[in-house]
Structure 1
Amino acid sequence: METASGMINNIFFIIFPIIVYQMFVTAGKRNFFVSHRTMLTILFSLSIILCMNFPYEFITNDYIFDLRQVPMIVGALYGGPYVSAFLFVVAAVCRILIGGEGTDIAILNQLLIAVAVPLLQPAFMQMQWATKILSVFLISFFSLSFNLLAGYFLFDHPIDRLYDIWLLLMINQGIVSVLAALLIEHIMRQEYLLNSLLKHEKMDTVSHFAAAVSHELRNPIQGIKGFIQLMQRYEYSREKQLEFHETILKEIQAAESLIDDYLVYAKPSYGQMVCISVKREVEHILKVLGPYALSNNINIVVKSLDKEACIMADRQKFHQALVNIVRNGIEAMPTGGKFYINVATHNAEVSIELADEGCRMTKEEVQRLGEPYFSTKTKGTGLGMMVTYSVIRQMDGHIKVSSAKGKGTVFTLLFPAATRTTTR
């Protein structure tokens, strides 16, 4: 029972640091044993120290054994010469402090691992998965074989109980080494898959942007091209030419507006960030969109406008974000209805609630709001909400969206509150 529990402890000392590294250290650094190499070296050093300080009896009381060689071998193969050298120093100092019979053979064996195993690293990293696992097992196997042979030829230690003790020791250590290597290979494969997925998502986003830009710019460009061809082919009166020019300018402005929307999302640019009164800005938006709401039979109801609500924002971009949400809410009620606005301050946070009585959105649609080229409208491009989400994030705010059947959709914009001393 003591042998089994001691072996389990040693295995735990080896596996646990690898799991800790994978869980906490590699977050955002998807390159095993390269990013935060120092941290993993320290963890493997702790593995060596714990294994050496908690050995276990193997089969008989004559053999006290530990698995210190496993982190040394795995660390040398995946970490390289510098990691291997540091682990050797740790193991050697610890072995000298422990003392006792076999210290000389142990340090000689550790030196061999520290020198020889890193030389195999370049070839090892190019091997296939199955070949790597076999190589780890053989290195571990021959490492203990060196202990046996060095004791016999250099220090005249007898070779006794070779098959029933040493062979089992070699197999035991080899299996644990394979388990550690398997875990590392699994982590490396998961990180490779994650990198591939992230790269694919970036390329997918780029393709969406390219498709959106080409699709949206084609319309105004085709219009401009058509008018220019007409003026080249036919003679028109000055009045008609001016009408064509005006139409062309509108199409150019539409294209510029589209490009600006994409630039705002990709790399928002801001004017001066000032402390603004939310009440004043909302009232301005109501003046701008009031006629549009009335023409669509929409009644805008202001529940509350907190006079003290102030935030740090770029006034122009803030207007743009609010206009996008209010306009979408109005368009979500084709048969008319009410649009509600509520501004309040709670616990140093300003909340702006914008609610419509239109068709509800599904949970999937709510989660996808702000994605490139996603819109719930049949003719929408998704640019408005994409820009809105980008603008709100850049102002240290965030958006909550709730949608329920019979209640419409509620957008809640949350911003850190600011003082009124510099309000403009």
Structure 2
Amino acid sequence: MEAMMTGMINNIFFIIFPIILYQMFATAGQRNFFVSHRITMTILFSISIILCMVFPYQFLTEDYIFDLRQVPMIVGALYGGPLVSAVLFIVSAVGRIAIGGDGMYIAILNQLLVAAGVPFLGPLYRKVNRWWKAALVFIISIVSLLFNMFAGYFFFGDPIHNLIGIWLMLMLNQGGIIILTALLIEHLQKQEYLYNSLMRHEKMETVSHFAAAVSHELRNPLQSVKGFVQLLQEYEYPRAKQLEFQQTILEEIKVAEDLIDDYLIYAKPVYGEMKRIEVEPELSHVIKIMTPYANARNVEIFVQGSDAASPILGDSQKLHQALVNIIRNGIEAMTDGGKLQVELETSAHTVCVHIQDEGVGMTKEQVKRLGEPYFSNKSKGTGLGLMVTYSILNQMGGDITVESEVGKGTKFTLEFPKLPNG
């Protein structure tokens, strides 16, 4: 009994494991295993058939050896169609001929009937629900075993009444396992369908967020331009006033252009503009620019530099933009003022910029969503600044890590690969 259970478990493992293995290593979003990947399915089920035949097990009596090769044959024929079924039949027939022994011709004939007839049930099988599928594979399995039983009686004179208990147990054994296999496949397919649906939903949601962000951000400068143009059309202003309005119009148009450039940065690589730059002077320049803004909000910036060289491959203008976005967010997070710590750290292989504020902080869920389109902790924010910042860092081969605690502040670490000195 122990040997029988060990052999049965081995056969079940030979059937189930290839299916699980494929799902583990398949590319996300492209795992429509039992529809689009028939070659892979054929190879895996062929291996299952061979292993089941090489490692059979005795069933209830030492005179009766059994294996589960029909499970991958039937399942492969239903999901893969005639071509897959034909290949699996050849593999099974060659293996059975190599094993030889009594009942070889009956086994091959049985396999031929399965390979020829089961694929025609495929269209019906794919239309019914999972429980009808389980019932159908169980019935096919039973019919196949009944064929073997009656063929043994007619060709070899095997007394059916003496072996009916064994055959019933075989039917329940193989039928139960093939139901388990079919339900597992259906479960994996359902999970894949849900995964692909979620991916499509997220893509559509991203597009809608982009549209909302563009609409929200562009409306303000366009409304200003529209208002000044209407004023110039309706009233006669002195030349000096007209020039003032025109200058304001140009500034608002520049705001709209910068906004569009920000969105293009998110989608458009900047590799053509990459060159060797030193982070320390670039960081000093940004601190100089942001200091008046910090002072106006009662925020004091403390800088801790590094004497070591800090060369990286990047674009100075884009680096300025990324640093400004994070420093501005840190300043704005401290509504009652505070200290903003900026530290440049260099090592043998990396250059890191640490930016830490004493602001309101964020929850772990909010930290995970940083960089998503249209996600912002600000009441009127669109998340565009950090979205662009994450894209810039990615294009420059860098990385961003965020540590934050509600009520205690946030620390951003920008890490870049360091170029060799020289």
User: What is the TM-score when the length of structure 1 is the normalising length?
Assistant: 0.91
Q: Secondary structure at the match of 1:287?
A: helix
The question of 1:160 aligning with 2:160 is answered yes
Which residue does 2:192 correspond to in 1?
191
Q: Secondary structure at the match of 2:303?
A: strand
Change beyond 3 A, Cα 1:313–1:36: farther
Counterpart Cα distance in 2 of 1:190 and 1:324: 39
Counterpart Cα distance in 1 of 2:312 and 2:371: 22
Q: Secondary structure at the match of 2:144?
A: helix
Change beyond 3 A, Cα 1:149–1:251: same
Counterpart Cα distance in 1 of 2:319 and 2:365: 27
Deviation at 1:215, TM superposition (A): 1.8
Which residue does 1:49 correspond to in 2?
50
**Identity level (%):** 63
Counterpart Cα distance in 2 of 1:42 and 1:151: 31
Q: Secondary structure at the match of 2:112?
A: helix
Unmatched 5+ residue regions in structure 1? none
Which residue does 1:418 correspond to in 2?
419
Deviation at 1:191, TM superposition (A): 0.4
Unmatched 5+ residue regions in structure 2? none
Change beyond 3 A, Cα 1:391–1:178: same
Q: Secondary structure at the match of 2:377?
A: coil
Which residue does 1:70 correspond to in 2?
71
Change beyond 3 A, Cα 1:26–1:375: closer
Deviation at 1:58, TM superposition (A): 2.6
Cα RMSD (Å): 2.2
Which residue does 1:239 correspond to in 2?
240
Q: Secondary structure at the match of 1:350?
A: strand
Counterpart Cα distance in 2 of 1:100 and 1:306: 82
| Letter of the 2:420 counterpart | T
Does the 8 A contact of 1:152 with 1:159 survive in 2? Answer: yes
Deviation at 1:312, TM superposition (A): 0.8
| Letter of the 1:160 counterpart | I
Does the 8 A contact of 1:277 with 1:307 survive in 2? Answer: no
Any runs of at least 4 consecutive aligned residues in structure 1 with deviations exceeding 6 A, and if so which?
Answer: none
Deviation by residue 1:347-375 (Cα, 9 ceiling, x = unmatched): 41111111223232222222221111122
Which residue does 1:218 correspond to in 2?
219
Counterpart Cα distance in 2 of 1:124 and 1:283: 68
Deviation at 1:407, TM superposition (A): 4.9
Counterpart Cα distance in 2 of 1:199 and 1:102: 53
Counterpart Cα distance in 2 of 1:306 and 1:19: 54
Counterpart Cα distance in 1 of 2:156 and 2:359: 91
Report the more deviating stretch, 99-108 or 293-302.
293-302
Deviation at 1:143, TM superposition (A): 1.5
Deviation at 1:34, TM superposition (A): 4.1
Deviation by residue 1:369-417 (Cα, 9 ceiling, x = unmatched): 1111122222322111110011111211111111246753211111111
Counterpart Cα distance in 1 of 2:365 and 2:6: 50
Q: Secondary structure at the match of 2:374?
A: coil
Report the more deviating stretch, 270-279 or 26-35.
26-35
Change beyond 3 A, Cα 1:340–1:325: same
Counterpart Cα distance in 1 of 2:54 and 2:91: 13
| Letter of the 1:264 counterpart | I
Which residue does 1:296 correspond to in 2?
297
Report the more deviating stretch, 71-80 or 405-414.
405-414
Counterpart Cα distance in 2 of 1:125 and 1:268: 44
